[in-house]
Amino acid sequence: MSLSSLLALSIVFELLPKVRVPWGMSVDFVAVPILIAFFIFGFREALMLSAGLWIVLCAMGFGSFIGGTMKVAATLPMFAVPAFLTRISGSRNMVFSPQFTVLAFPLALLARCVVTVALNYYWAIPLFFGEPIEVLIEKFFFGSIWGFVWFVSAMNITQGVVDYLTSLLVSYKLVKLKILG
């Protein structure tokens, strides 16, 4: 399996119907191949795949440029944080260890939330709706900035859990079965 195969898989996931959760959010698997690329091949490969995915999503994805940019921006911390931790520890072999996951996974989710809250507040939501963020927070969150932060974070934690854990389990099996890695 090559990076081009993983990019093709991301595109297929983009085209498939999304899974709906009870609170109305739709969950997708578009970023799973990017994280598989990180777990099996490394940071550089995941970054290259992210760039390819961004180009494709900007051309065809929901919300086009805004949606593609936000998807890649939300996915980047999910592999950049673990990559940083493997770099400072000096060992990439630890990405599948439970101890590493207990540290890297929550830190990646936290970084994802910070990035997505900031980008949604200052750029994506005002641009998408064509109104100032203050008006939108008043309209959708009863004027509560914390309601906005909670909402964006909850959606990104849900998607981040799906992305990280699914790709970790798939990658682990692929390496263990000597299919990849």
pLDDT range class, residue 93, cuts 50, 70, 90: confident
* pLDDT at residue 144 in the model: 92
Type of residue numbered 103 = L
What is the spatial distance between Cα 162 and Cα 157, in angstroms, rounded to a whole number? 9
How many separate domains does the chain show?
1
Beta strands in 17-147 (DSSP E): 19-20, 26-27
Give a yes or no: residue 170 inside a domain: yes
Give a yes or no: residue 119 inside a domain: yes
Output the furthest CA–CA distance in the chain (Å, rounded): 54
> Does residue 61 surpass a pLDDT of 60?
no
> Does residue 73 surpass a pLDDT of 80?
yes
Give a yes or no: residue 160 inside a domain: yes
Give a yes or no: residue 181 inside a domain: no
Contact between residue 168 and residue 35 where contact means Cβ atoms under 8 Å apart:
yes
Over residues 125-167, the pLDDT tens digits come to 999 899 999 999 999 988 899 999 999 999 999 999 999 999 9
Question: Across the chain, what does the average pLDDT equal?
Answer: 92
> Does residue 181 surpass a pLDDT of 70?
no
For position 74, which CATH number holds? Answer: 1.10.1760.20
What is the spatial distance between Cα 39 and Cα 123, in angstroms, rounded to a whole number? 30
Give a yes or no: residue 42 inside a domain: yes
Give a yes or no: residue 53 inside a domain: yes
Q: Which domain holds residue 135?
A: 3-176
